[in-house]
Structure 1
């Protein structure tokens, strides 16, 4: 029994959302989910999953299968809707907040780049969240990709997921022609929110925009996301989605 194991309520929500059948299996799918959740939280290698879980090959098989079927996107969407409605909010978000997080590489075989601004060698997570900080979309690139260029691919992801945002807040990294390009091609309005000049010293969070920084700190609570250990960008995106799913499961 691990602290990352699903409760009965959490498992019933997953089972109902993904329409898992009750046919007899050698290993219950709940145990498979527990193994994946353990891996995300602890950051261990697939091959080093504890022996009380099924063989790592089987766990990885289901992880890969669910990834191909876009199960993580579906579950994330349903969880986000449930938590938003529980808070008295609309089912679908209308406001988004966009930013990127540079992450150091932890796998010398994975693709990586150099972010000269943050002085980080690795990848960059381009993320959109709602006003609660809950993940809406994620796109991973090498760290040297400029935020403005990556924004187009991130908007394609948002459009594919059918997320009807009316306004997206962003920082100065998204200034320029990219705002008009996104408005024309995707019908998303981007508002750049800059830090106002002030003589006061010390940290002062920017309203609304600080929310996505909190989301990045939530990601860092899972050791699998502290560095990039994934060989593929798709897998790096999946780990972010699984981290967001774990967070929302604890809020239902």
Structure 2
């Protein structure tokens, strides 16, 4: 309800049509139960992984928290189902960590188009990518 109001005040459609998904492993405090955390060997972190979807305004239509050992692609299935059930975000942008079977599964099961955005050659670290027209031709703008 609050997200719809914020989007409306910003002059946007109350239901977002696109989102960006990603995951982040975070250390678990000593009070976090062993059943809800695990070791992420890639990041060398014992804790949890939070997978989030943000719309074009940075608002959160879906969040999933799992043990850190869960791969981005495995956690994304629940995240994408949450987006589907919320009735919004039929197009999702993701990085290379989500490439593979998830793209076909998302199109077949919840009917969400997942665009994998790759880094430009030679890029190191984080950089904001400019909008790429070709990626936006297959979905409605909000």
TM-score normalized by structure 2?
0.82
Task: State yes or no: 1:103 paired with 2:26.
Answer: yes
1:179 is matched with which residue?
103
d(CA) in 1 for partners of 2:120, 2:2: 36
1:161 is matched with which residue?
86
2:50 alignment partner, one of 103, 125, 128: 125
d(CA) in 1 for partners of 2:124, 2:24: 25
Kept after mapping to 1: 8 A contact 2:103/2:113: yes
Using the TM superposition, give the Cα deviation of residue 201 of structure 1 relative to its aligned residue in structure 2, in angstroms.
6.5
Using the TM superposition, give the Cα deviation of residue 183 of structure 1 relative to its aligned residue in structure 2, in angstroms.
0.5
Q: Tell me, which stretches of 5 or more residues in structure 1 are unaligned?
A: 1-77, 209-252
Q: Tell me, which stretches of 5 or more residues in structure 2 are unaligned?
A: 132-142
d(CA) in 2 for partners of 1:207, 1:144: 32
Larger radius of gyration: 1
CA-based RMSD of the aligned residues comes to 1.8
d(CA) in 2 for partners of 1:129, 1:201: 23
1:143 is matched with which residue?
68
Q: Secondary structure at the match of 1:93?
A: coil
Alignment length (residue pairs):
129
d(CA) in 2 for partners of 1:202, 1:176: 23
Instruction: Describe the shift of the 1:86–1:113 C-alpha distance in structure 2 as closer, same or farther (beyond 3 A).
Output: same
Which is richer in strand?
A: 2
